[in-house]
A and B are shown apart, each in its own frame.
Chain A
């Protein structure tokens, strides 16, 4: 039997105004287990807490019930009070007689009656409470960053800066991500390469950072502080530690007809290649799909010209297993496919391009060496039409496109339009838009400069159809403000394609048991207050994998994620929440229902041997909960038909006792 103390708070007149607190304390005195009952002006005050501490010692209490305000307000306070008096903090229950009683009821009689019932329910529960001790688990002081774009780079640099080792896993042969493909950045018009590539070099030179390029995460096990990750390093057929990045092989390779993905297929590269001049790591990679040697065994030119002897045609995929304390997802985005947007003739005409392709066309390292030339005939375009929101802000029912705003298109289109007019004042530039969205520092000023100083024609309205005719693109559009149809003969049409999360994110989310929204963006632990944490402990979010964002936002989120990781890694041990699920192995029948509903992957199964009454042993499959991973939702407890799974702090019999106490009128 427990020895329970009941403490009824007046909360000034907040409670005492509608609840006869003396009567409540009196009525609860005779409840089972109660050995002490008192009321006081302000239980949460120092004097009130001292009163509780003294009573715990004097009456040798094993549990306390505080009838006061919401547990969301002061449960933590009273738990600390109990702990200070030597009582297990989880032997404290709160009866909420303020928010859910005195404040909503006007009548003293009914308020008092309800307060007594709520007190009885809390007493019934605390009678079944057991002392709980939070578990501890060690922390592996190493972080994994998945994705080597600007988000991953910044996160890795910040974590490494705090002294923790970081590994970056990047699927491409080089880090750099989408930002490496950009020409200038809005609204300051810095050159993307000028600000990104030094950071890439920092990463390469940082002793705390390892880069696994051309690699992917294939398996994640474990939990916060203790992730076991398997990384697949794809065979690049070039020894990374020997290749000097001289690039001779990439000039001599006879296979010249490989679409260059870095320039979005607008020119070709060789079968052995370095994606771009500033690649990190700067080593060559053989594209096994195109290499004649790997396909037919006849060629070997690259091996012959490589003076370092770095080529290795026999290379195999390698699997690396490593332990991490924290995982940062920075898988980034891609523009959506334009295949479903036939009205813009993207697949019919080479001169209809996406904005990312436009970036490459204006980039000095791009397929045209920075000259703005039409992809079809290499002529200088005189009339350029930019189409906004291609696939963004679509109707929910639409089969193509996304419901959300891609956020960055308004600004980069303003940049494209401005730069075009700046370099080529002889061009006419039209931008068709639904709205121009410019929330951001110096964003609106930037857009207005495009309109006012550079004379870009901004037209509110959507392009209905683009039809290639001869060497022109007939653009049919509506001008909603003038209320008329427009027909423009354009030389180049640029589509601001919506962005979507990288396809690899879905599989990764499953491995990490991290949740995603319907658009496959990772969900945050809390949209406002925990924006860089995933609901899965130890998994953090950086950059556009969480939602569309521009570079400054990405970098600040990357830094925020890093600071959360640092906060985790600088702990030697993690203290868990003891209110977690627990499996009674004697009752578990191993059906896996609980495992299937667990949002955190906290439940695992193992075969265990049990002694039977007849002295034989029986092997049974039983569930066990990893208390470091479990968050205590209780979904498993209801999925479990035998009741083998129960939740500490909210046990079946505790809730049932509360029900009984409330209903026993």
Chain B
């Protein structure tokens, strides 16, 4: 078992190239710190995030998964985040239905100008996931050391 008292969660963040990834870059440029537990995967749009990616991350030991995209109405591709919003509403509701802690998943809209929001969001998310402890319910046991 992992040491819960000194628990460092593993967070996978899917960020859309045009807004949120740029927002993360801005957070970096402004030296706004957030925990190193967050690892970002760049996708062209939040609508590229397949539920399989999210489940895969959990299966391989992620403790939380967050999807960041452009604010509704600002999608670089005009409608991608609207589709993402619907898909994630259903998927996260289903995970909740299966008894998975709902604080392990999140969707957040972060614009390219919102470096501070990006950092604050990640800080908050890491804090919430840390409070939940290791992801036991959705972990693939084979992948543990």
A residues in contact (CB < 8 Å) with B: 70-73, 96, 98-101, 103-107, 110-111, 113-114, 117-118, 121, 515, 523, 535, 579, 597, 599, 631-635, 637-639, 647, 650, 652, 655-656, 658-660, 662-665
A647 vs B77: C-alpha distance in the bound complex, in angstroms? 15
Whether B61 sits at the interface, judged by CB under 8 Å, is: yes
A585 to chain B, nearest CB (A): 20
Interface contact A104-B31, CB-CB below 8 Å: yes
List of 9 A-B pairs having minimum Cβ-Cβ separation, nearest first: A99-B28, A634-B48, A663-B60, A633-B77, A635-B47, A103-B28, A99-B25, A110-B36, A515-B78
Interface contact B83-A638, CB-CB below 8 Å: yes
Among the listed B51, B57, B79, B119, which residue makes an inter-chain contact with A515, where contact means beta carbons less than 8 Å apart? B79
Interface contact B36-A96, CB-CB below 8 Å: no
- B22's nearest neighbour on chain A, judged by CB, is A72
Residues from chain B with Cβ under 8 Å of A650 in the complex: 43-44, 48
- B122's nearest neighbour on chain A, judged by CB, is A104
Whether B125 sits at the interface, judged by CB under 8 Å, is: no
- Which B19-49 residues sit within 8 Å CB-CB of chain A? 21-22, 24-29, 31-34, 36, 39-45, 47-49
Interface contact B79-A660, CB-CB below 8 Å: no
Given the interface pairs A104-B33, A121-B41, the reply to whether A635 lies near B57 with Cβ below 8 Å is no
Residues from chain A with Cβ under 8 Å of B45 in the complex: 633-635
Interface contact B34-A104, CB-CB below 8 Å: yes
Residues from chain A with Cβ under 8 Å of B47 in the complex: 597, 633-635, 638
Interface size class of B (residues with CB under 8 A): 35 or more
Residues from chain B with Cβ under 8 Å of A118 in the complex: 39
- A114's nearest neighbour on chain B, judged by CB, is B36
Given the interface pairs A663-B57, A663-B62, the reply to whether A100 lies near B40 with Cβ below 8 Å is yes
* Extra 17 A-B pairs, beta carbons < 8 Å, given A535-B78, A633-B80, A635-B80: A72-B17, A73-B25, A98-B28, A99-B24, A99-B25, A103-B28, A104-B28, A104-B33, A107-B36, A515-B78, A599-B79, A650-B48, A656-B56, A659-B60, A663-B57, A663-B60, A665-B61
Residues from chain A with Cβ under 8 Å of B12 in the complex: 659, 662-663
Interface contact B56-A659, CB-CB below 8 Å: yes
Interface string of B114-135 (1 = CB under 8 A from A): 0000010000000000000000
Given the interface pairs A110-B36, A599-B77, A663-B143, the reply to whether A635 lies near B83 with Cβ below 8 Å is yes
Whether B1 sits at the interface, judged by CB under 8 Å, is: no
B3 to chain A, nearest CB (A): 14
Interface contact A104-B77, CB-CB below 8 Å: no
Interface contact A105-B41, CB-CB below 8 Å: no
B110 to chain A, nearest CB (A): 13
A105 vs B77: C-alpha distance in the bound complex, in angstroms? 32
Interface contact B31-A100, CB-CB below 8 Å: no
- A597's nearest neighbour on chain B, judged by CB, is B83
A103 vs B42: C-alpha distance in the bound complex, in angstroms? 18
Interface contact A70-B78, CB-CB below 8 Å: no
Whether B98 sits at the interface, judged by CB under 8 Å, is: no
Whether B50 sits at the interface, judged by CB under 8 Å, is: yes
Residues from chain A with Cβ under 8 Å of B22 in the complex: 72
Residues from chain B with Cβ under 8 Å of A633 in the complex: 44-45, 47-48, 76-77, 80
Residues from chain B with Cβ under 8 Å of A72 in the complex: 17, 21-22, 25
- A664's nearest neighbour on chain B, judged by CB, is B60
Interface contact B10-A663, CB-CB below 8 Å: yes
- B39's nearest neighbour on chain A, judged by CB, is A662
Of B26, B28, B76, B79, most A-chain CB atoms within 10 Å: B28
Of A70, A98, A114, A639, most B-chain CB atoms within 10 Å: A70
Whether B87 sits at the interface, judged by CB under 8 Å, is: yes
Whether B53 sits at the interface, judged by CB under 8 Å, is: yes
Interface contact B36-A113, CB-CB below 8 Å: yes
Interface contact B28-A100, CB-CB below 8 Å: yes
Whether B141 sits at the interface, judged by CB under 8 Å, is: no
- A640's nearest neighbour on chain B, judged by CB, is B50
Residues from chain B with Cβ under 8 Å of A660 in the complex: 56, 60
Given the interface pairs A599-B79, A639-B83, the reply to whether A100 lies near B25 with Cβ below 8 Å is yes
- A636's nearest neighbour on chain B, judged by CB, is B47
B122 to chain A, nearest CB (A): 9
A658 to chain B, nearest CB (A): 5
Residues from chain A with Cβ under 8 Å of B29 in the complex: 99, 103
Interface contact A659-B41, CB-CB below 8 Å: yes
B34 to chain A, nearest CB (A): 6
- B51's nearest neighbour on chain A, judged by CB, is A638
A73 vs B33: C-alpha distance in the bound complex, in angstroms? 20
A101 vs B33: C-alpha distance in the bound complex, in angstroms? 9
A638 vs B46: C-alpha distance in the bound complex, in angstroms? 10
B63 to chain A, nearest CB (A): 10
Interface contact A655-B41, CB-CB below 8 Å: yes
